[in-house]
Structure 1
Amino acid sequence: MFKKAFTVLAGTMVAAAVCAAGASQLRSDHPDSYTVRRGDTLWGISAKFLAKPWLWPEIWQANPQVRNPHLIYPGDILNLSFINGGPALRLEPSVHSDDAVPAIPLDAVKTFLKDLRVMDSSVVSKAPYVVGLEEDQLDGSSGQNIYVRGLDTQPGQRWAIVRPEHVFRGYDDGNGGTTLYGDDLYANVAVVKSPWEEDFNNGSGQYRRGKDMGLEVKVIGTAETLRTGDPTTLLVLEATSEIHKGDRLMPVDDNPYDPSFFPHAPKSLPKDGRVIAFTGAMDAVGPHQVVALSVGSADGVDNGTTFAIWQPGERIHDDVAGSSWRRGVGPHVTLPDEYIGHVMVFRTFDHVSYGLVMDGLRPVKKGDKLQLPE
């Protein structure tokens, strides 16, 4: 479904962007022609021609001359020319044997589009839960029965089995700002005191709770109601992970995400937006990796919103103005923030969003700031 939407987006974006762009929008080193290759994305192709790839939609909508934009496929040739002093891009189509070029690398975001949700913690804590498994096993899998308490259901009804992944919280950093963290939860929620008791540190060596921004849950399977009661018996239809006691059940979401989006700058900059978590790394990530952001739909952020990422300047001791032996009490200075790269939002929740790092000069770290793209 979302591949089709990205396909429609593909032909529109590049053709419209370059046709409507003024000379100042073009890169100084832009090619005169480009042959589309397998593995290309619309962001990457547009970045070869345009200095600001995230301005595609604004340029496209302001261009009434593009009446029938083409889909772009591997093997197609894009030729740049100038008509009446303005740039125009002409497409030489090829014989198509591959899918059209997507807007972004889909493989990098499929899991986050389909399997993950960020919800209010109180809603998840009150959801029906797995209390036992067939033959008193420790783990459940496809084809086995599970027993669930608190479920209002009918025979034949299907449910999603979910598991808490992260809780997102905000903490005052003591300097008038807010430092945000994504904190891991215990994997087995049945063995802790509360439904999702956290094991986290706020960065200052003191354990305390911060502002609850949402709980990330992962869909790990689906089940169908066999017999109602307390507990209710369900048959596990499929499972991507072993099912444990304490896993929650939620309604199956047939349309869990909006598959289409257009890269654009935010209408206004949300207050103190930060990178709060990422996957696949411990300390930092780079282009084409997913990050969690501390802004969401409640802040006016929608799919395609593009931010510039800036790393906060480090506060250091001024060894020239003061003795290096007295760094604890001597004069200090805060270095300027440093530009890192761009991130594009592809899925939003109330107070948290998932974004894909599109480009960068250096690694993205937790706590990096979100700014308007230049």
Structure 2
Amino acid sequence: MIRKSIGLLAGMLVTVAVYAAGAQLRADHPDSYTVRRGDTLWSISARFLSKPWLWPEIWQANPQVHNPHLIYPGDVLDLSFVNGGPALKLEPSIHREGEAIPAIPVDQLKPFLKDSRVVDPDEVKNAPYVMGFEEGDLTGTAGRNLYVRHIDAQPGQRWAIVRPTHVFRTYGGDEAQESDEMAANLVDSDVATTNSPWQEEWATDIGRSTPNHAFRGKTLAMEVTVIGEAEVLRGGDPATLLLLNSKMEIRAGDRLMPIDDNPYDPYYYPHPPKSMPQNGRVIAFAQERLTQVGPNDVVVLSIGSKDGVDNGTTFSLWQPGEQVPDDVAHNSWTRYDHKFVTLPDEYIGHVMIFRTFDRVSYGVVMDGLKPVQIGARVKMPE
């Protein structure tokens, strides 16, 4: 168990006592390290610790220090030993420039923190929708009016305009047919009969989050992307809204949802799971056309807040062992007569959850020995 104390006071040397077993330190740890631009607390800790996800056990402030993470490029970390145990000594730079280094690469996560949501498919099905535009326009652009059905709102209220992008499913094919029928019903529902262009696109997108359709399972949730914002001018059905801004042309059939003023946490503190969820898997990649990803890439996991997962929860990723024939124990000329054996799972790296929803969560791959593939299992970070 690591105990700690760190206080960042201008112009002072600060010692971080790390009463840890020697195994916590990497065998190739440096004696000194100068913080550089682009570093994160995780990457720095990985230079000293064999378990970098334990960095909060080191970078913990004294009670009187407001922010424990104000470490800047140019600061120097020296490793020393006090009373038989290792200690990190931080020497703040005299002329600090730029922003403090983050805990994780937040800049790369912003699109998933601000612009994406994961909701129940029924929530999308029952959401208000755009049915038309001012003066018969075919699409909506900023500064023009649009007309929305089934919206209960007062003049002055602002709403987010969203468009479905992915359907997330469990890893496994037993309930694939049920999942496909649900998706088809949603696309063909009476709420979505506005002949909107996205319907056909979305229908062909069902299951795109899993490269191999044989792995499709039960629907967990639906991802939608915020593509614009509108303000209610007049109520009614349809109601009149002013399109304030948009990242793309708004189409008939796009849904509206309340604006989320606080979509994500500003800080992240890696920690092991409070309890281990059952059968957590990587079910999708943020860049859906990739077949494998690596450090700093975003993955979607089949576990969420209802499984006890919260922001900062850290898991290790393991690739399931392949089934291979044992030709020694059962020699045969035909493949179907082979005796197949499942090989052990192989360790890949660590993933840290940075945004959670009821049944799925976004995670960022923090480090890895090999690429992450769809179906990778999550286990305790040990």
User: What TM-score results when the alignment is normalised by the length of structure 1?
Assistant: 0.85
| Pair 1:235-2:235 in alignment | no
Aligned residues: 352
Whole-Å separation in 2 of the counterparts to 1:86 and 1:206 = 53
Could you tell me how far apart the structure 2 residues matched to 1:17 and 1:307 are? 26
Distance 2:362 2:313 in 1: 11
Q: Which runs of 5+ in 2 are unaligned?
A: 1-5, 175-182, 188-193
Q: Is 1:306 aligned to 2:305, yes or no?
A: no
Q: Using the TM superposition, give the Cα deviation of residue 144 of structure 1 relative to its aligned residue in structure 2, in angstroms.
A: 1.9
Structure 2 counterparts to residues 134-153 of structure 1, below 5 A:
134-153=134-153
- Which of residues 227, 230, 233 in structure 2 aligns to 1:226? 233
Q: Give the drift of 1:194.
A: 10
Change in Cα spacing, 1:117 to 1:204, as seen in structure 2 (3 Å) is closer
CA–CA distance in 2 between the matches of 1:143 and 1:294? 40
**CA deviation after TM superposition for structure 1 residue 323, in Å:** 4.1
Query: Structure 1 residues 70, 252: CA separation in 2 closer, same or farther (over 3 Å shift)?
Result: closer
Map residues 357-372 of structure 1 onto 2, 5 A cutoff: 357-372=365-380
**Compared CA separation, residues 205 and 52, structure 1 to 2 (3 A):** closer
The letter of the residue matching 1:96 is R
Q: Once superposed, what is the RMSD of the aligned Cα atoms? A: 3.1
Write the distance in 2 (CA, Å) between the matches of 1:148 and 1:102: 41
Q: What code does the residue aligned with 2:341 have? A: V
Which letter maps to 2:223? E
Displacement after TM superposition at 1:318 (Å) = 2.1
Contact 2:32 2:79 in 1 (8 A): yes
Task: State the match for 1:178 in structure 2.
Answer: none
Name the residue aligned to 1:29.
28
* TM-score computed with the length of structure 2 as normaliser: 0.83
Within the candidate set 172, 180, 190, 2:196 is matched to: 190
Give 1:245 shift: 1.1
Q: Any stretches of 5+ residues in structure 1 without a counterpart?
A: 1-8, 175-182
Q: Residue 269 in 1 paired to residue 276 in 2?
A: yes
Name the amino acid aligned to 1:321. Answer: A
Q: Between the two proteins, what is the percent identity of the paired residues?
A: 60
Q: Does 1:53 align with 2:69?
A: no
Q: Any conservation in 1 of the 2:16–2:87 contact (CA below 8 Å)?
A: no
| Partner in structure 2 of residue 116 of structure 1 | 116
Q: Name the CA shift for 1:59/1:103 in 2 (closer, same or farther; >3 Å).
A: closer
Q: How big is the shift at 1:141?
A: 2.1
Structure 1 match to 2:357? 349
Separation in 2, partners of 1:259, 1:153 = 30
Q: Secondary structure in 2 aligned to 1:345?
A: strand
The partner residue of 1:325 within 317, 333, 352 is 333
Counterpart in 2 of 1:79? 78
The residue type equivalent to 1:287 in the other structure is P
**Larger mean Cα displacement after TM superposition, 257-266 or 316-325:** 316-325
Stretches of 4+ moved more than 6 A in 1? 9-12, 15-18, 192-196, 201-207
Report the CA distance shift for 1:351/1:113 in structure 2 as closer, same or farther (over 3 A). same
For the residues of structure 2 that align with 1:241 and 1:18, how far apart are their CA atoms?
52
| Matched letter for residue 314 of structure 1 | E
